[in-house]
Amino acid sequence: MPILDSIAIQKILPHRYPFLLVDKIIELEPRIRIVGIKQVTANEQFFVGHFPGAPVMPGVLQIEALAQVGAILALREFEDRDEKIPFFSGIDSAKFRRPVVPGDTLRLEVTALRIGSKVQKMRGVATVDGQVTAEAEIMCIIANRSDIKE
């Protein structure tokens, strides 16, 4: 049973299809750790061009999926989260270990290294069947939506 389903996730994250890359949250320790799931299907738009005849989920999208899970952990701490938006501010020590293909269940585990009022730092590890596919330290800034210039 998920702790957060896709509808609950969309109440926290500003991302929407086709860029929402987390389907559910299955574990959550506030301010400490979170685990999300992405069911990778053959219908993903990125598979059309990455790569025809040999579909592989781009590593950068695995990192983005980890960041989205981390953003859920961080944004939950803000009562005014509807007025906030997370922005990447850094990615360190990123490594890609094995391909992710249609039919895989991507497990996205993110541990908080620093949860602040503005700057967040987390460590994310993506796995399929217990094998690491991608890992990185992710930093983001939580900005006010009103500060973004259109």
Q: What is the pLDDT of residues 5-36, one digit of tens each?
A: 999 999 999 999 999 999 999 999 999 999 99
Query: Mean pLDDT, the chain, as a whole number?
Result: 94
Confidence of residue 148 (pLDDT cuts 50, 70, 90): confident
One of 50, 76, 97, 98 is an active-site residue; which one?
Answer: 50
Domain 6-147 adopts which CATH fold? Thiol Ester Dehydrase; Chain A (3.10.129)
| Torsions phi, psi for 78 (to 5 deg) | -105, 120
**Residue range 68-87, pLDDT digits in tens:** 999 999 999 888 988 999 99
Answer yes or no: 50 catalytic: yes
The full set of domain ranges for the chain reads: 6-147
Q: Cα dist. 50→42, 44, 55, 69 in Å?
A: 11, 10, 6, 23
- pLDDT band for 149, please (50, 70, 90 cuts): confident
